[in-house]
Amino acid sequence: MIVQLIKKQLLLLLRNRIQLLMLLVLPIILIVILSTALSGFMQGDNPQLTIKIAWLEQQDETSQVDTFLENMNELGVSSDVFPDKDALHMTTILREDVFLSEELSSMIELHQIDESEKEKIIEDANYAAVIEVPQDFTLDLLQAMALEDNSVPKLELFLNQEQQIGTEVVESIIHNFNEMIVMNQFMEESNLPITVEELNNHDVPGELKHMEQRIPISSQAYYTIGMAVMNALYVASTLGFFAYREKEIHVFDRLIVADMSRWKFFLSVLISGAIVSFMQLLFIFGFSWLVFKIAWPSMMVFLTITLSLALAVGGTTVLLTAISYRINTEEIIGFFSGIIVSIFAFLGGSFFPIGELSPLIQQIGNLTPNGASLSAYIQVLQGAPFKEIASYIVVLLCFTVVSILLAVISYPKRGSKI
């Protein structure tokens, strides 16, 4: 009799073409759209950023350095105290070693201009900033450092607020350069036997270990899994609606009158939900294998996860059916389909890996059937052994058992009106 009931449930779904298309075609459409639209986000691609900066220097820096050394000599400080005169060319260091460094060369275009071009460049929207080095800037800076004078000169910075990212980059670079100068001066005054450059390049003692590298997955693979596990939950609501309609048209009552155990009916609902979900998952993953060439390293592990998720969906189906029978309305099924599934999809990472933003959300998401199965599928694609995904299988099986127990508790007791 159970086999006949399962067959009846499957025939009801096959005859409802709209629901069948929603369960099979909609996930594929979502996979194609999301994997194409968000491929750059998933693969960590960074947009090419070009920041144009104009550099205006009002006075030759070499003459300022010479003047500083002469002033120090008049104060009785020998020029031998400054063996590396190139290190005194502060603006040259900022321009050549920072803005025009190899690390920033692909991002920053620095153009040296003269006073006559200043107003035109400021009005040019293509430039993110204009950096103006005022008269005697280097001389005043060196004297302030040598004489411990608080009257430190400042660069004049003209920022284009329409290029927010570019202006923030420029401000950050200048701020970090200023901190480096302050730190270097502090170390010299404290007679520390190390410079800022040596500090940055200093090797920290310790043991070097190589972390295990996992295989990165494509956006097609991620959204295939994300949409598959999310839409599997809609199987529960679809079959739950069918089961409740059978109560409304008194099919369930006729089965009871025919002396068939009501538990056989609910067992058939559970098995039907598991079968439909299992076939739906195989269809979606089969499509991804044909179109996106997504192959599973271990077919046995893949089938184990798929079967565990299918059982969780079957447990959810019988739970929804029992609750709807208990409260005598199908609104709980609609609430699950419209609200609960969306919350599960968000927490489980079906739309994007939200777990990377918060460990707490990741832990909560892994307790949902779609979140646990998504994490398991992804780790299998990345080459993880079965022991690392066993915990997710346990979560799915526990979810199934808890759903069945809640269904038993929720089911109306004999003699109550349903």
The pLDDT tens digits of the residues spanning 299-349 come to 999 999 999 999 999 999 989 988 888 888 888 888 988 899 889 888 888
302 touches 309 (CB < 8 A): no
Residue 202: per-residue pLDDT: 46
101 touches 173 (CB < 8 A): no
Q: Give the model's confidence band at 268: pLDDT under 50 very low, under 70 low, under 90 confident, else very high.
A: confident
- As a whole-number percent, the residues of the chain with pLDDT over 90 amount to 14
Residue 47 has pLDDT above 60, yes or no: no
Residue 136: per-residue pLDDT: 86
Residue 395: per-residue pLDDT: 94
Residue 276 has pLDDT above 70, yes or no: yes
In tens, the pLDDT along 117-132 reads: 888 988 888 898 899 9
| Higher local confidence (pLDDT), 191 or 239 | 239
Q: Give the model's confidence band at 415: pLDDT under 50 very low, under 70 low, under 90 confident, else very high.
A: very low
Residue 354: per-residue pLDDT: 72
* pTM for this predicted structure: 0.59
Residue 189: per-residue pLDDT: 59
Best CA proximity match to 87, nearest among 195, 200, 199, 172: 195
137 touches 155 (CB < 8 A): yes
Residue 38: per-residue pLDDT: 61
286 touches 20 (CB < 8 A): no
Q: Per residue in 171-186, is it b (16+ CB within 10 Å) or e — as a string?
A: eebbeebeebbeebee
Residue 42 has pLDDT above 80, yes or no: no
In tens, the pLDDT along 209-262 reads: 444 555 667 778 888 888 899 989 998 888 888 877 776 666 555 555 555 666
In tens, the pLDDT along 60-116 reads: 888 888 888 888 887 777 666 666 677 788 888 888 888 888 878 778 888 898 888
Residue 39: per-residue pLDDT: 56
The ranges assigned to domains in the chain are: 1-44+217-410, 51-196
Cβ contacts of 2 within 8 Å, gap of 6 or more: 264, 267, 268, 271
| Higher local confidence (pLDDT), 24 or 249 | 24
Of 38-47, 99-108, 158-167, 269-278, which range is least confident?
A: 38-47
**Token digits of residue 237:** 């609501």
In tens, the pLDDT along 382-397 reads: 888 888 899 999 999 9
Q: What stretch of H or E contains 409?
A: helix 386-410
Q: What is the rounded distance in angstroms from the CA atom of residue 88 to the CA atom of residue 82?
A: 8
Residue 251: per-residue pLDDT: 59
